[in-house]
A and B are shown apart, each in its own frame.
Chain A
């Protein structure tokens, strides 16, 4: 059985909470699953919660960056929330500054950010469908 990280749908947004130790295969699966999910649901925003992630390597850093880039290609905005100080320092020391990735302190603010960035009518329009 392949281990998977659940992708939850909340309205027009997708919520991904990483609560297990990330390893490379899991990251790859997540990336695949997410693109499929965005395509299927027509999600406009992705909230990636990494508050329980306390160890990162360059691969996971790249994965975060990739998820953001892929989502924006599929016209979904990614917000990474809850990054731990140690993780932030590690990423900076690795030279992975994640340009273009939106970040927020916690899930609540991340969600608020997504709502702000998405024009109100678009959310409404999608609801009516």
Chain B
């Protein structure tokens, strides 16, 4: 394993070969891959690798390789945030194989057994580095997805107060079980907090209504009724009204209105308010 160590110990000479390997693959030309300082990054990585291999081949679990791990973590995280694919990220590490093998080939000319074993060790090392990068990349991507999901859930459930005792919930996006649960909970909690007697659920932003969505809506309406408040569903578009009838969904006993304005008018009427125009009154 001596030869690999020696090669890794001189990162400057390896860097040149690696850069010429990376360049035709599109590295550096695209903003995704580290931009202008991509060469510098590659150098940094080799530097970290060389300091990790001071006492034998770098072992990713050891404390000597902390620098390598940190570097790969930062790299895959920034790649994930830039929207690169996992294979692109892994290729960056795997592309080190060719220059490394070439150097091994050049260094060991007489002993084919040694060459084979050193090549195998080098290949294993790079594979481990690559796998580590991919798994970190995956983790980062999952974190991003989870965060976005949470943000979407929060974004999609704003409960607004329209009038004293009238709450409105403009629903946007498809209703699934998880979202209905969040929507229902936040709406019911707001009803308790504000003591509102009427809640308007506006489904203008719900693209399609199928039996499942309708069932979720009915559940929410029933829960609101159980709490002692009234519910009006508004924003039923013509196509959705047709779908509801075609599906045979029974919305009897639930006040439905075409627009939020109609629903508000009904809510105000039920609360005992009347709206009049000044011009008409005089």
Contacts and interface: CB of A to CB of B under 8 A. Distances in A.
Interface residues of B, number: 19
Most buried by A among B188, B189, B197, B227: B227
Interface string A72-107: 000000001111111111011100011000011110
B16 interface: no
Contacts of A84: 192
A85 B189 CA distance: 6
Nearest to A103: B228
B228 A85 contact: no
A128 B197 CA distance: 35
A109 B198 CA distance: 13
B219 A104 contact: no
A93 B184 CA distance: 12
B30 to A, nearest CB: 50
B228 A104 contact: yes
**Tier of interface size on chain A:** 20 to 34
Contacts of A45: none
Contacts of A97: 222, 226
A105 to B, nearest CB: 4
Interface in B208-253: 219, 222-229
Contacts of A87: 226
B227 A85 contact: yes
Contacts of B219: 92-93
B205 interface: no
Given A91-B226, A98-B226, A105-B227, 14 more contacts: A80-B228, A83-B226, A85-B184, A85-B192, A85-B223, A88-B227, A92-B222, A103-B226, A104-B228, A105-B191, A105-B229, A106-B228, A109-B228, A110-B228
